[in-house]
Amino acid sequence: MNYTVLTLFPEIIESYFSASIMAKAVERSLVRYKIVNIRDFAQDKHHSCDDAPYGGGAGMLMLAEPLALALESAGAAKKNEENRRHTPRVVYLTPSGKPFTQGLAAELAQEEEIALLCGRYEGIDQRIIDLYVDDEVSVGDYVLSSGEVAALCVIDATYRLGAGVLRSESLAEESFAGGLLEYPQWTRPEIFMGLSVPEVLLSGHHANIRKWQLEKRIEKTLAVRPELIERGLAEGIFDAGTRLLIEKVKSSVGDDRNRTDDLLNAIQAL
Ligand code: ADE
């Protein structure tokens, strides 16, 4: 995967590419990256990259001209140009973009090259979006002070899906794989602060362990992200065994709720 990051703060991005698993992926040429400092394309003697918005309003906007020049330097083509086959997919990070999900990460991971445009201030001139941006992407319903951190989220979630970066079994079991969150896990010691590792995990019975882990994934997902289960059922992504287990967990949660209601009613009747 090739990433080009267009930013006013190259050092934030550089530090990420130089650390940990990412640094190894770069060393092994599984990942290539280029950082473009938008300020290098400023046109006035003050190297200005922002100005006040037409029509008034709070804050400043990033100027169109340095952004267009920076994008062109990264090989980006205008959307109305005919041959865009070998040009990067241009992703602009903004809180008003479409949500960044594991599905979108998987889609972007298929690209040969992505150019990530990081906004600062109140955003960028709309003409840049109209002319160059393929996807406006938000990493969540909150406002960050800049797009750099959001761009790093996109890079992190996509490069690890690329061939050779991680073992495929890690990817198959992690949260969101198969539409469910991950099951809880324990490591040594067997007892910590009086809390024991669940028996089944010490049993060595692999089929039971797998079933128990799937049940835990379902319980966790139903508790904190029930909409993922409903979406998965509607999209038909669960196999028959998983669907049965979902029904079983749902009804036992219902039973627990009924028992709690009975208990509360009994207490109130006292
Ligand atoms: N820039 C500021 N906030 C953002 C967000 N939530 N997602 C993407 N880019 C952003």
The answer to whether 66 and 42 are in contact (CB under 8 A) is yes
What are 204-260's pLDDT values in tens digits?
Answer: 999 999 999 999 999 999 999 999 999 999 999 999 999 999 999 999 987 777 776
Determine the residue of 93, 122, 129 to mutate for testing ligand 1's pocket, defined as the one with the most ligand atoms within 8 A of the Cβ atom.
Answer: 93
The atom of ligand 1 lying closest to the CA of 137 is 8
Contact, 77 vs 87, CB < 8 A?
yes
CA atoms of 97 and 143, how far apart (whole Å): 12
Superfamily of domain 2-167: SPOUT methyltransferase, trefoil knot domain (3.40.1280.10)
How does 34-43 read in b/e, with b if 16+ C-beta sit within 10 Å? Answer: ebbbbeebbe
Over residues 115-160, the pLDDT tens digits come to 999 998 799 999 999 999 999 999 999 999 999 999 999 999 999 9
Ligand 1 pocket check for 139: Cβ under 6 Å: yes
Cβ of 226 below 6 Å from ligand 1: no
CB of residue 221 inside a 6 A radius of ligand 1: no
Torsion sign (Cα): 7, 8, 10, 13: negative
Q: Report the nearest-CA residue for atom 5 of ligand 1.
A: 95
Distances, alpha carbon 15 to alpha carbons 2, 6, 22, 23, 24, in Å = 17, 15, 10, 10, 13
Judge if the beta carbon of residue 149 lies within 6 A of ligand 1: no
Residue 57 clears pLDDT 80, i.e. is over it: yes
Q: Is the pLDDT of residue 270 over 90?
A: no
pLDDT of residue 144: 96
What angle, rounded to 10 degrees, do the helices at 226-235 and 206-224 form?
A: 110
Is the C-beta atom of 118 inside 6 A of ligand 1?
no
pTM for the predicted model, two decimal places:
0.89
Helix ranges (H only) for the chain are 10-17, 20-27, 64-73, 102-109, 126-132, 147-159, 168-173, 199-202, 206-224, 226-235, 240-269
Please give the distance of CA 34 from its chain centroid, rounded to a whole number. Answer: 21
**Residue ranges of the domains in the chain?**
2-167, 191-269
For the domain spanning 191-269, the CATH number is 1.10.1270.20
Rounded to 5 degrees, what are φ and ψ at 48? -70, 140
User: Residue 158: CB within 6 Å of ligand 1?
Assistant: no
Cα dihedral across residues 102, 13, 117, 163: positive or negative = negative
Q: Is the CB of 143 under 6 A from ligand 1?
A: yes
Cα separation, 126 vs 242, in Å, equals 46
Confidence class for position 173, pLDDT limits 50, 70, 90: confident
